[in-house]
Amino acid sequence: MNIKDTFVASLVPIFLGFGFVIAKPAFESFPPILLMGLRFMFAASILIWWFPIPRGYLKKIFIASFIANTLQYSITYSGLNLIDASAAVLLVQTEVPFGVIFAYFMLKEKPTIRALIGISIAFVGVYILTGSPNLEGKFIGIGLTILGSATWALGQVLVKPLSKKINPLALVAWLALFSAPILIVFSAVLDGNTINYLSNAKFEHWIIAIYIGFIMQPITYGCFYYVLKNNPLYKVLPIVTMGIPPTGLLAAIFLLGEKPTQELFIGGAIIIVGVILIVFTKNEKKKFNKNY
């Protein structure tokens, strides 16, 4: 990956980690699924007018949108609503091992022994992290966050081919356009009182919704799909996911006043070690093939 793509990719975790954490206070006014519906509605409303309809790809975009956006964000942010943000930003690191697993079954990319060890280590870290006192009895939140990570990884496998055919911002726009109304309907069915939530939401929570919809979503995923278009997923994903913990943890500590426990730091560190093993496995394999 060249310097420009590396820089662009590094912007993603900065905006994403910060936005992931500050979304939590907004749950006081908006249920998680409704907040995600607003997020994608705002993103689509400013982007969709600039790009033509990607005819021939609408069905694939809808499927990718339903998995990568609608399902994933419903699950992940519902999990975030039930646990501390500092724990959630570490649990989402499981996106990388899940990505390797899905790549094996869907793209026939056989993982090396080192990658399998990395996956095992990452999930050992998850086990240790879930023993943190501030996660006691919160197994539903933990499970939803991990399931959301798996769904995100699956979604990116589906988005990858589309990123080569469609402008990155256009892809963000059309994925958001398909997701927004479904999420809002889901929220109306599951949470009820949608109009009441919107009319009684606090001003500062509307600011958060505007940030994640008008700023975070276009910038982060515009950058992500731009880099994904030109580089393999295994090179892009680590920069994105490994940059989220420091950004997210700092935001959780200084903005939300959370106090991460020792188990959280130890488990999070072990997860990251596992992710590093997975990442450098593929890099070394590529270099070996190139040199020999």
Residues in the chain: 292
How confident is the model at residue 11, as a pLDDT? 85
What is the number of domains present in the chain?
A: 1
CB 75 within 8 A of CB 81: no
CB 16 within 8 A of CB 244: yes
184-205 CB burial, b ≥16 within 10 A, e <16: bebbbeeeeebeebeeebeeeb
How confident is the model at residue 290, as a pLDDT? 38
Residue among 4, 3, 6, 11 at smallest CA distance from 222: 11
Q: Residue 138 phi/psi, 5° resolution?
A: -110, 45
Residue among 64, 135, 100 at smallest CA distance from 232: 100
| Residue 113 CB partners (closer than 8 Å, separation 6+) | none
How confident is the model at residue 195, as a pLDDT? 93
Q: How far is CA 13 from the centre of its chain?
A: 9
Domain that holds residue 187: 3-109+137-259
Tell me the pTM: 0.83
Does residue 121 lie within any of the structural domains?
A: no
Does residue 277 lie within any of the structural domains?
A: no
Residue 138: count other Cβ atoms within 10 Å of its Cβ.
Answer: 18
- The CA-atom distances, in angstroms, between 127 and each of 23, 52, 91, 184, 271 are 25, 46, 10, 34, 10
Does residue 285 lie within any of the structural domains?
A: no
Amino acid 116 reads L
Does residue 272 lie within any of the structural domains?
A: no
CB 253 within 8 A of CB 70: no
Does residue 282 lie within any of the structural domains?
A: no
Does residue 82 lie within any of the structural domains?
A: yes
Does residue 275 lie within any of the structural domains?
A: no
Total H helices, total E strands in the chain: 14, 0
| pLDDT by 10-residue block (mean), the chain, 292 residues | 80 84 93 95 91 90 93 94 89 82 76 80 83 84 92 86 84 93 95 92 94 88 80 70 79 86 84 76 43 34
Does residue 181 lie within any of the structural domains?
A: yes
